[in-house]
Amino acid sequence: MNIFGYIRESLKRGLVAIVRRQIFWIAMILVPIATAWFLLDLMKGGVPICTPVGIVDLDDSPTSRSIFRNLNALKEVDINARYANYQEALRGLQEGKIMGFFFIPEGMEERALSGQQPHVSFYINYAYYVSASFQYRAFKTISVLSNAAIARTVMRTLGMTDRQAMAVLQPVVTHTHGLNNPWTNYSYYLNLSFIPCFLALMIMLTTAFSIGTELKYGTCRQWIQSANGSIELAVAGKLLPQTLIFCAVGWFIQFMMYRIYWLPLNCSPWHMILAMALFVLANQSFALFILCAVPNFRLGSTLCSLVAMLSFSICGFSLPSEAMYPWISILGYVVPMRYYLLLSIDQALNGIPLYYSRLYYAALLAFTLLPWTMMWRLKRECNNPIYVP
């Protein structure tokens, strides 16, 4: 049999494994696409709005009623309950009927106008961090505006005009501009990171499973013999069909992100298409490197799962890597997901010239060369298999 015959046999073995095992179709196609659709559709609104909150107004004055109207006008919260006292509001919060409440004490307006500094309070359920953060911003904004309104009323009684009062209350006007995401859309930066990271998890687990099962069930010798004793040819035949499927799935997910749910794409689509292909190859190669270093189905799969799950934390999705401890920040640069995230930020989100992202493309390409330095170890294990449960 010539070299083309061995290539054909290796590819046939890889395709037959995919066709015969339903788990491959679930892990490679169904789960990544379903997860991407779920996350994109879940966050299509951008930010949580109309979070149910309550209010306790013991003052019932023009100022407290103004606070109620201003608070209810904010899109972040929706006042759907008014309580007679603190205990009722707290019970509603504990029962999950509301996510927080604003408390206005009795005699608030009278004490404020007489200079006695009354206290208003707000209570938030921080078990739901995102919605709680928006509630805090809304409650804090209304508290500050209420202070300013009362101070302006006092200044009016002293004979100052509204313009003079505002110059005292706000001597410097601040304008805030959110670059590249002025809508503070959570989907724009969460899904750009979470969806590819979940895809990386499935790629690494599938790669570890497809090669690890050859070791576990003792078929690794036949696998190597079908490729004429070449571990490189055997691995290529095993993984190439998966590479094509994962690339197609990744490109379809990108189509969903950038053309169905309209996440920012401020670069040529080919830049991200290339990044996805390199991303798939890099994660397959990284999983293969782990299997070469630890040629055992159970340990290799566990390590691949652990590394992929840690990518959610150490790559700087929610907490910037600059704010981490240095030794933790460095760990983020040893997984492919970090470089794809930086490419998504530079190209899709910021749209900077491709030249400035060349090192990230090169890093993903370097991952594809990593396992070839350890392939001899996997070949030795395949030729002399030792079952370890």
Domain coordinates in residue numbering, the chain: 3-44+188-383, 51-169
pLDDT at 199: 95
Q: Please report the pLDDT score of residue 205 as a whole number.
A: 93
**Where does the chain have alpha helices with state H?**
3-20, 22-25, 31-42, 62-73, 86-94, 108-113, 129-157, 162-169, 186-216, 220-225, 231-255, 269-293, 297-314, 326-331, 336-343, 358-369, 375-383
**CA 381 to the chain's CA centroid:** 38
The confidence score (pLDDT) of residue 19 equals 81
Q: Are 249 and 28 in contact (CB under 8 A)?
A: yes
Find the helix packing angle between 231-255 and 375-383, rounded to 10°: 120
The dotted CATH code for 51-169 is 3.40.1710.10
- Which tens digit of pLDDT belongs to each residue from 216-273? 887 888 888 878 788 888 888 889 999 999 999 999 999 999 999 988 899 999 999 9
- Tokens 């979070």 belong to which residue? 51
Q: In 139-176, which positions are buried (b, 16+ CB within 10 angstroms) versus exposed (e)? A: beebbeebeeebebeebeeeeeeeeebeeeeeeeeeee
**Residues of the chain below pLDDT 50:** none
Residue 69 is predicted with a pLDDT of 87
Give me the torsion for CA of 305, 360, 179, 254, rounded to 10°: -60
pLDDT score at 363: 95
Give the pLDDT confidence score for residue 177 in this predicted structure: 64
Whole-model pTM: value is 0.79
